[in-house]
Amino acid sequence: MFMQIIQGPIRDADAARTTMDRWLTDLESGAEGWLGGTFGVTDDDMFVAAVRFESEEAARRNSERPEQGEWWREMEQHFSGPVTFHDCKDVIMLLGGGSDDAGFVQVVQGQVADPERARSFAEQSTELMAAHRPDIIGATIAIDDDGCFTETVAFTTEDAAREGERKEMPAEVAKVMSEGMATLSDVHYLDLHHPWFASHHERESL
């Protein structure tokens, strides 16, 4: 899998979502290899999109379509500042990946010095999350060539997520989580209180 993370300050969240929805209506059918995406806007108007493709080549083919370029020029008008792109060939799935049933999504970003060690930690944490954090129903970690990582964590609800954060973990679980966080730097969080989702497979079944 290949993921592209797109983010930037937005002027009008509703207008941006309308333009995103138009992509699904008008352009999605021609985007070969597009799998889906997780989208949202933070309280301070930061738009975040985590878009999934089967491969880097599929993402490139989509970007090169003339109609995609025309659509992006329209979408770009909704931003009030620079837009950042992270192209991520290294993608880790936790608990099956993200879930379109999530009521709340937290985006965690930062730097990872050792992607292999991060992958090992992710594999360990998957079992721990399943056992101790039923509020987490899926997650993805995307790492770009510069070591910038973006994790999207899908929760059943925000209330359940906050309750889970306050719950004391067993000592062995806390130790593993602490060791994992030690592999990361410059960590910051973006809360998507009203996320929305798109899935190629779901649309095929309609």
Tens of pLDDT, residues 97-154: 877 889 999 999 999 988 888 888 887 778 778 888 899 999 999 999 999 999 999 9
| Alpha carbon distance 203, 127 (integer Å) | 30
* pLDDT value at 14 more than 90: yes
**Interior angle at CA 187, CA 105 and CA 135, nearest 5:** 30
- pLDDT for res 188: 95
Domain 90-192 top-level CATH class: alpha beta
Q: Could you tell me where the DSSP H helices lie in the chain?
A: 13-26, 56-64, 66-76, 115-132, 158-166, 171-181, 200-205
Q: Where are the domains of the chain?
A: 2-88+195-200, 90-192
The phi and psi torsions of 144 (rounded to 5 degrees) equal: -90, 180
- pLDDT for res 201: 53
* pLDDT value at 167 more than 90: no
Is 2-88+195-200's fold the same as 90-192's? yes
* pLDDT value at 82 more than 50: yes
Contact 39, 196 (CB under 8 A): yes
Greatest pairwise CA separation for the chain in angstroms: 55
Q: What single-letter amino acid sits at 85?
A: F
**Mean local confidence (pLDDT), 1-24:** 96
- pLDDT for res 197: 94
The fold adopted by the segment(s) 2-88+195-200 is Alpha-Beta Plaits (3.30.70)
Q: Are strands 84-88 and 104-112 parallel, antiparallel or unpaired?
A: unpaired
> Which has the minimum average pLDDT: 73-77, 170-174, 193-197?
170-174
3-state secondary structure of 85: strand
**Mean local confidence (pLDDT), 25-47:** 95
**Mean local confidence (pLDDT), 82-96:** 93
- pLDDT for res 115: 84
> Which has the minimum average pLDDT: 10-19, 53-62, 99-108, 125-134?
125-134
* pLDDT value at 22 more than 70: yes
